[in-house]
């Protein structure tokens, strides 16, 4: 009961702060962002000290060394966080942009103007640098944010939230624009997603379990992505060297992320030439291959793929491989097993490149480029708060603009409806 009262107060404060943020000019928001960066650097010893309190518990609950590494704050990680805030300060302010204006026959001038969403509830796991990134993006786009990080990072998140809020206050921005929920109580997530009177959007970031839970139980609209089961289709006309480089990059460069390739589809005409050398290179890099029966006929010593491998997001050095008879079979496979995240075709055929772009129903569809480019920074949005694989609001990576919406403004001279 006490927790829910505290969180209602936080949400109400966020709503009040968002009302002030709405009309705040770019300069003041950018000043705050730069001071936030400065404060992080000035207080890095204190941050590291608090971060050290998180690490023993993280080891105790059995987090993997890789997870503990991502949790650990060093001077260079803190410098990166500060650099990120300064970068966001340098990006254009999406708020106030007039996206269109037109005149109606009765003389009304109707326009659309970009406005912040309002209050964002951001739920995430582990890495404390996400606290700083999300706070910066929300502030720049004129939104108040309530941050619920993982319990492993609670001390780190609390100190970061305090430093950021102090910087806000010093620059005349309401300090309640950035609030960290100061508890490891898991009930806080349940409460947060029920506060629909004050919160406009929930953005969860983390494992599929967390995201499904939030999406299934939230009374507030959710922007989410469940998983990335990304495909590369190597067409019969593919330049095979290019195909090899792109497939290798898509699988190996960073296998644990959502835009890594999980399934490789190869046209039967090039499979005999392409697959043996590609598989050899993957195996040299430690990638386990799980192949369809036709793959096995070509390369007998690979593991047979099971049905469960086709819709799987391995997030690891594992790759499902299937030989297809034609592009239709590739498109059907993607339609059946894909997650609408990212798919690429490697081809030198103009018509098939166009058909793939038109027919694949994913947030990012690429020709002759790595799936790893599905990322707000890489696509030129400037920054990214997450990737949305539901089609509403923003399909794909979400940058500053995607943290806004538009309202209609109407200039009249006394018009009434007939």
Q: Residues in the site for a copy of itself, rule: CB under 8 A?
A: 19, 22-23, 102, 104, 108, 110, 113, 115, 117-118, 200-201, 215-216, 219, 221-223, 239, 242, 245-246, 248-250, 253-254, 335, 357-359, 361-370, 372-374, 378-380, 390-397, 405-417
Q: How many CA atoms lie within 13 A of 141 on its CB side?
A: 29
> Is beta strand 303-304 parallel, antiparallel or unpaired with respect to 288-291?
parallel
CA nearest to 349, candidates 219, 237, 274: 237
- Distance in Å, CB of 293 to a copy of itself, minimum: 27
Q: Which helix (H) or strand (E) holds 205?
A: strand 201-205
Q: CB-wise, 54 or 93, nearer to a copy of itself?
A: 93
Q: CB-wise, 16 or 166, nearer to a copy of itself?
A: 16
Q: CB-wise, 236 or 404, nearer to a copy of itself?
A: 404
Q: CB-wise, 227 or 294, nearer to a copy of itself?
A: 227
- Distance in Å, CB of 66 to a copy of itself, minimum: 20
Q: Which alpha helices (DSSP H) does 223-288 contain, by range?
A: 240-252, 271-284
Classify residue 60 by burial, with Cβ atoms within 10 Å: 0-12, 13-18, 19+.
exposed
Distances (CA, A) of 238 to 235, 251, 272, 366, 367: 5, 18, 13, 14, 11
Q: CB-wise, 41 or 369, nearer to a copy of itself?
A: 369
Q: What angle do CA 322, 325, 329 make, to 5 degrees?
A: 75
Q: CB-wise, 132 or 192, nearer to a copy of itself?
A: 192
Q: CB-wise, 9 or 359, nearer to a copy of itself?
A: 359
Instruction: Provide φ and ψ at 61, rounded to 5°.
Output: -80, 5
DSSP 312-340: ----SSEEEEEEESSHHHHHHHHHHH--S
* CA R_g for the chain: 24
- Contact (CB, 8 A) for 150 and 125: yes
């Amino acid at each position: 009961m006490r927790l829910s009262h505290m969180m209602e107060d936080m949400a109400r404060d966020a709503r009040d702060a968002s009302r002030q943020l709405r009309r705040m000019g770019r300069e003041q928001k950018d000043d705050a962002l730069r001071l936030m960066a400065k404060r992080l650097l000035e207080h890095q010893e204190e941050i590291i000290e608090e971060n050290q309190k998180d690490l023993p518990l993280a080891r105790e609950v059995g987090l993997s060394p890789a997870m503990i590494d991502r949790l650990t704050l060093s001077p260079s990680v803190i410098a990166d966080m500060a650099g990120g805030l300064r970068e966001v300060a340098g990006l254009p302010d999406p708020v106030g942009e007039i996206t269109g204006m037109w005149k109606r026959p009765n003389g009304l001038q109707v326009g659309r103007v970009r406005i912040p969403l309002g209050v964002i509830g951001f739920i995430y796991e582990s890495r404390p640098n996400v606290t700083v990134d999300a706070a910066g993006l929300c502030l720049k786009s004129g939104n108040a944010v309530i941050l619920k990080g993982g319990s492993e990072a609670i001390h780190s998140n609390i100190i970061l939230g305090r430093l950021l809020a102090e910087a806000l206050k010093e620059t005349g921005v309401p300090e309640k624009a950035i609030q960290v929920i100061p508890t490891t109580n898991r009930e806080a997530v349940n409460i947060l997603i029920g506060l629909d009177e004050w919160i406009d959007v929930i953005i969860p970031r983390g494992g599929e379990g967390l995201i499904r839970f939030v999406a299934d139980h939230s009374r507030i609209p959710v922007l989410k992505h469940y998983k990335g089961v990304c495909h590369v289709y190597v067409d019969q006309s593919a330049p095979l060297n290019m195909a090899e480089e792109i497939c290798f990059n898509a699988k190996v460069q960073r296998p644990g992320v959502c835009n890594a390739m999980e399934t490789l589809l190869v046209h039967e005409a090039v499979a005999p030439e392409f697959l043996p050398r590609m598989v050899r290179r993957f195996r040299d890099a430690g990638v386990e291959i799980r192949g369809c029966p036709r793959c096995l006929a070509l390369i007998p010593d690979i593991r047979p793929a099971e049905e469960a491998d086709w819709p799987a997001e391995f997030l690891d050095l594992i790759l499902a491989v299937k030989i297809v008879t034609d592009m239709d079979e590739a498109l059907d496979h993607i339609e059946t097993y894909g997650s609408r995240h990212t798919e690429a075709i490697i081809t030198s055929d103009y018509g098939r490149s166009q058909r793939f772009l038109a027919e694949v129903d994913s947030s990012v569809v690429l020709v002759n480029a790595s799936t790893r480019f599905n990322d707000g920074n890489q696509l030129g949005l400037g920054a990214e708060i997450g990737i949305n694989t539901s089609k509403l609001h923003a399909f794909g990576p979400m940058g500053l603009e995607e943290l806004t919406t538009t309202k209609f403004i109407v200039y009249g001279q006394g018009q009434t409806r007939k």
